Structure 1
Amino acid sequence: MRDDLQDLVDEVSRLLGAPATLEDPEFTLLAFCAQGDEVLTGLDAVRTRSILTRGSTADTRRWFTDFGIDRATGPLRTPADPAAGILTRLCLPVRHRGRLHGWLWLLDEGRTDLADPDPPGLAQACALADRAGELLAGRPAPGDVSGDLRAALGGDDAAADRLAGRLGAGTAVAVVALRPSGDGPPPGWEPPGAGAISAVLGPLVAVLLPLPHRRDDRPAVAVSAAALHRLPRGSTAGVGSPAVGCRELPRQWREASDAARVAAVDPRLAPVASWAELGAWRQVVRLGGPDPALAALLADPVLSRTAEVWLDHAGSPQRAAAELVVHRQTLYYRLGRIAELGGLDLADGGDRLALHLALRSARLAAGPGPGSTRIGER
């Protein structure tokens, strides 16, 4: 989010051709942009202090709030105070759904074009101020641990550091992704486990859990199993690779959510799968989808299931026929149809690999279904 806010301030500065700053309601500086080195010499004392100290004095805050900036819903001009070293400014309130989240300040240095009632680019700048309000509205509130977890999973380093401070320096952590079936976790649901922190992210629930040792994720697997007992039948969970500290949470979350997704379609890994045990699924889950060249074959449920069972049994006709409960000659006939329909040479390792990846990718894309989750068994 910090990068998004900086890009936004840069764009406002470009649109209105003036130095710009973004501050929150406590006058804490969030981002700033100068219009070239030649402008820096013209900055007033207030803006210079704000940039250097990331904040403003009580007198400065009172000076601006006396002009009604905390009540403004549209662009507002504040006058100069030469004695205090304050230049004139254009203030754009940053709001979201009526709530004030800060201000965008444009330092006009007495320029006549910004003094116009509707300077060029003002409408676009106001739209960007609204966008800033939307971004700031999503910031975790002080003490909002769930909000910090959501932000850290999205790559917010400041939120990650707050979580690490809460858990203790050098603490090993695991991330669990819970994939509730149906309508999600019941009201008032809380994850089990001492020190666990949870947050809802769309259809998933993220759980951050401290570990006694980095190389031992068994506590996370145990917590996942206990959590599933409190969730609707058919829910699954995934566990990402452990790490020390919270700066790797985005990577851990991707692994955990991918593992939960695989557990939902592979009964051998359900209901709790860890990233480390996924094997070939680690490659499959990162694919964009099944190979479209095999679409005709994948659309045939009987042939698809036959191919998957045969490949899962390493090409053994005896074991595949036994699981499919068909005569071996029937299996050979189907394999011939699979090769013909897919344009494959089933004696070629590359073609077998392509087929196996496509079958598993199609299973992931289809999602879990009732009963067995092999393709063609729905």
Structure 2
Amino acid sequence: MKGDYQDLVDEISGLLGAPATLENRDFELIAFGAHDSDDDSAMDPVRTRSILTRKSTPAVRAWFEGFGIARATGPVRIPAAPEAGVFRDRICLPVRHRAIVLGYVWLLDADPGPTHEQLSAAMEVTDRIGLLLADEERAGTDLSREFRAVLTAERGWQYDMALAALRTALGPDADGLHAVVCVAPWPSGEAPSARTVAGASALCTVPWLWPTAAVAYGSPGDTRSGTGGGAAGRRQPGGEATGPGATGHGGRTGRGASGGEAAGGGMGTGASRAGNHSGARAAEAQPSDTEDGGHALAVLVRLRATDVLAPAVTAAGRLSGTAGSAGTSGSASAGSTGPAVAGIALPRRGIGDLSTSWREAASAARAARAEPRLGPIADWASIGPYRLLTALPPAPSPDPATAPLLGQAHAELARTAEVFLDCAGQAGRAASALGIHRQTLYYRLSRVEQLTGLDLDEGEDRLLLHMALKAVRL
């Protein structure tokens, strides 16, 4: 938005051949034209102070308003007043929208000054500035209640009523192009003013609940190491491959650097593994189990084009930084540990699909928190498989095949399996990424198979394990 004002001020400066400044109706500086004159008298104390301090003194304001600029509909010439600190004559171009003054464009008057035609052309530009100021002022209206009602209402008549109220409050903006941003965790229940976030049409906070995993590899409290009897029965008597040359992992020692097919067999069919983990049931977790994450901040950001997410990214970066600073100072909610992240939904025109946009933004934020390489700002289109995983409801209990692998005792094996699957099963890439010898990789993968009863030469088994490892991050 600031760039738009600057462009218009530069346009006026070009039309009149003199540097212009733009202030709002409270005499706070918004933009100013470049001063490239060698004549130092072109910069008087009032203009200098306005640029350096971003506002004018009460005496200067009183002098200017005494000439009726708040009621004027055309250019106003104002003489100098040294006693008020105004050492140069000025021309004021009032910026209005629908008969309401919203700001002023200022120029230093000269002899000869601008012609009538030049001033008329400049006033046409102030009409465009007035439209921008009006849009920004409308966007600055506190719409948090209406916005929150839409995001928290269940589908049905309540959602329809909330959406209608928000559409009325937004006015013409409701039909524009927007992207929804989710910043989480937000350190308090209060949303900042929309005026402080460039491009924001509405902001609100909503309760934020992080789904709680029943078991999470790398987390304390789960030290199970039980394995299915069927899996162990197909191993050596000790149940483990015993050396760097072991071939317990389907003959994978015969693979080349490209990770080709195994030379040996797998660990059996899915049917033979069905009962492998009857004695290794994970702790129960109900679908509603959640960790209180305090609040998330939802932002409705105006866009110019569907392929230009810059306004949403800028807002997300600024707000997540604000949340992070507040969190480190100790004001974050007890459950909102960790740095703040942000998710951005797909751009959409109009607000009819706000519930979908919010779900996408929240999913992207969850993915950024679960997978640091995606964050700290992630847009929904870029989170890959997490688009599907975040749409799934929490499972009542971990998958019985993968649960034994996800405890703290086997964190290194779980990480090895995840990297191996991330590398599309290419042993050379995985070993390099982990910084281990390939034979060590094969040994660890054979242990994974023992613990889970899965055959990592089977595509569906790989898919199940990969999904479980990614899902537990959420």
Larger deviation: 154-163 or 229-238?
154-163
- Residue aligning to 1:279: 384
Asked if 2 retains the 8 angstrom alpha-carbon contact of 1:313 and 1:320, the reply is yes
- Residue aligning to 2:305: 213
The alpha-carbon deviation at position 188 of structure 1 amounts to 5.5
Larger deviation: 349-358 or 193-202?
193-202
Asked if 1 retains the 8 angstrom alpha-carbon contact of 2:190 and 2:205, the reply is no
Indicate whether 1:260 and 2:356 are aligned. no
Distance change in 2, residues 1:252/1:359 (3 Å): same
Measure the CA separation in 1 of the matches of 2:342 and 2:383: 13
Q: Superposed, which structure 2 residues align to 1:51-70 within 5 Å?
A: none
Measure the CA separation in 1 of the matches of 2:142 and 2:193: 17
Asked if 1 retains the 8 angstrom alpha-carbon contact of 2:199 and 2:311, the reply is no
Letter in 1 for 2:177: A
The alpha-carbon deviation at position 187 of structure 1 amounts to 8.3
- Residue aligning to 2:149: 151
- Residue aligning to 2:206: 201
Of 399, 413, 432, 1:291 maps to: 399
SS of the counterpart of 2:148? helix
Indicate whether 1:338 and 2:341 are aligned. no
Indicate whether 1:235 and 2:344 are aligned. no
Indicate whether 1:164 and 2:167 are aligned. yes
Measure the CA separation in 1 of the matches of 2:191 and 2:177: 30
SS of the counterpart of 2:150? helix
Letter in 1 for 2:439: Q
Distance change in 2, residues 1:293/1:243 (3 Å): same
Measure the CA separation in 2 of the matches of 1:335 and 1:276: 32
- Residue aligning to 2:241: none
Asked if 1 retains the 8 angstrom alpha-carbon contact of 2:179 and 2:344, the reply is yes
Distance change in 2, residues 1:302/1:283 (3 Å): same
Of 414, 419, 427, 1:309 maps to: 419
Measure the CA separation in 2 of the matches of 1:218 and 1:167: 24
- Residue aligning to 1:225: 317
Unaligned runs of 5+ residues in structure 1 are: 1-142, 365-378
Letter in 2 for 1:283: L
SS of the counterpart of 1:293? coil
Measure the CA separation in 1 of the matches of 2:204 and 2:372: 27
Indicate whether 1:192 and 2:284 are aligned. no
Per-residue CA deviations over 1:136-175 (Å, capped at 9, x if unaligned) read xxxxxxx861010011113522332333341515311111
The alpha-carbon deviation at position 279 of structure 1 amounts to 0.9
Greater relative contact order: 1 or 2 (C-alpha under 8 angstroms, separation 6 or more)? 2
- Residue aligning to 2:223: none
Asked if 2 retains the 8 angstrom alpha-carbon contact of 1:185 and 1:231, the reply is no
Measure the CA separation in 2 of the matches of 1:263 and 1:167: 33
Please identify the structure whose Cα radius of gyration is greater.
2
Q: Superposed, which structure 2 residues align to 1:17-56 within 5 Å?
A: none
The alpha-carbon deviation at position 320 of structure 1 amounts to 1.4
Letter in 1 for 2:296: L
Of 464, 468, 471, 1:354 maps to: 464
- Residue aligning to 1:368: none
The alpha-carbon deviation at position 219 of structure 1 amounts to 2.0
Distance change in 2, residues 1:185/1:319 (3 Å): farther
Asked if 2 retains the 8 angstrom alpha-carbon contact of 1:185 and 1:232, the reply is no
Measure the CA separation in 1 of the matches of 2:455 and 2:308: 43
Measure the CA separation in 2 of the matches of 1:358 and 1:159: 37
Unaligned runs of 5+ residues in structure 2 are: 1-140, 208-294, 326-338
Distance change in 2, residues 1:292/1:256 (3 Å): farther
SS of the counterpart of 1:333? helix
Indicate whether 1:177 and 2:170 are aligned. no
- Residue aligning to 1:270: 375
Asked if 2 retains the 8 angstrom alpha-carbon contact of 1:297 and 1:304, the reply is yes
Distance change in 2, residues 1:239/1:187 (3 Å): closer
The alpha-carbon deviation at position 185 of structure 1 amounts to 7.4
